[in-house]
Amino acid sequence: MSTLRLFSPAKINLFLAITGRRQDGFHDLLSLAAPLDFGDTLEVEPADRISLCCDDPKLPVDESNLVLKAAVAFQVRTGWKGGAEFRLRKRIPFGAGLGGGSSNAVATLRALNELAGELLDPPALREVAASLGADCSLFVENSPVIMRGRGDMVERLTEAEHRRIRGKRVLVFKPGFGVLTSWAYGQMVANTGNYLNAEAAENQLNQWRNGDHCSLESLTFNNMEPVVYAKYPALPAMHEILRRRFGLKPRMSGSGSASFALLEDNMPTEDIVAWIYEAWGRTAFVISSTLV
């Protein structure tokens, strides 16, 4: 079999409300998340055993990597005894809230399922993916979705709702540091006043869903921002400057440290990008992308 090449997209959370902590220790959330046309590439070839290499030397390629976790989960679920060599061409920064690891995990499941002769039907693939992380369910659908529970309860948008998102331009930017997801959720536990009541979160999302006149910018929300802002003041400082200087309305994606701002169709970005690099240095990550 020739080499499989799978695109592994990034995502942003257009809307993210953490509504409380569950008895199992995870958090309940309500989110509208959308994939981007920017992401990683996963190359896969049949082999005697499971192995992983990556073109980014900073990324661990041991059992902590979600590619290898996904491969193990596939073997456990299906009993498949084959192997594969994975080569990950990494473009999505980690510690960013852009879902790179989860996206890689789903690409791994798709690749192994093809190599193994489609042992998992779509519902089973979704089930295995959901066990690997909250964002994985989004990448199985590969379109904007509403996620509830711990991220495992997924609702696809209507076609009319999807049209209001598809093709929108977005600027994604991240400082040279990342934010540890477990730390950010721990801060939510320590600062419970930042939780948003589940009914209030649904009402806020429904204002956009039920109103064709509502802009996508009016939807954007993230109640993890206050706890992350408190430790990383570079983020709110940048958001405020982009609001005042360029008229943008930035939001953090997931638990950060990446943020995004929706762009008008013909809006130039050169000055914005140059300013971000000037403020944060060349270790910053900045890309212009499109919502899928």
- Is 11 noted as a catalytic residue in this protein? yes
Closest CA relative to residue 76, chosen from 120, 45, 111, 38: 120
How many other CB atoms are found less than 10 A from the CB of residue 107?
27
Helix (H) or strand (E) holding 100: helix 100-115
State the residue for tokens 């204002």: 207
Cα atoms in the Cβ-side hemisphere of radius 13 Å centred on 12: 32
- Is 231 noted as a catalytic residue in this protein? no
Active-site position among 11, 90, 168, 174: 11
How is residue 180 annotated by DSSP? Answer: -
What is d(CA 138, CA 275) in angstroms, rounded to the nearest whole number? 32
Active-site position among 40, 135, 168, 174: 135
Closest CA relative to residue 90, chosen from 78, 80, 104, 76: 104
Catalytic residues: 11, 135
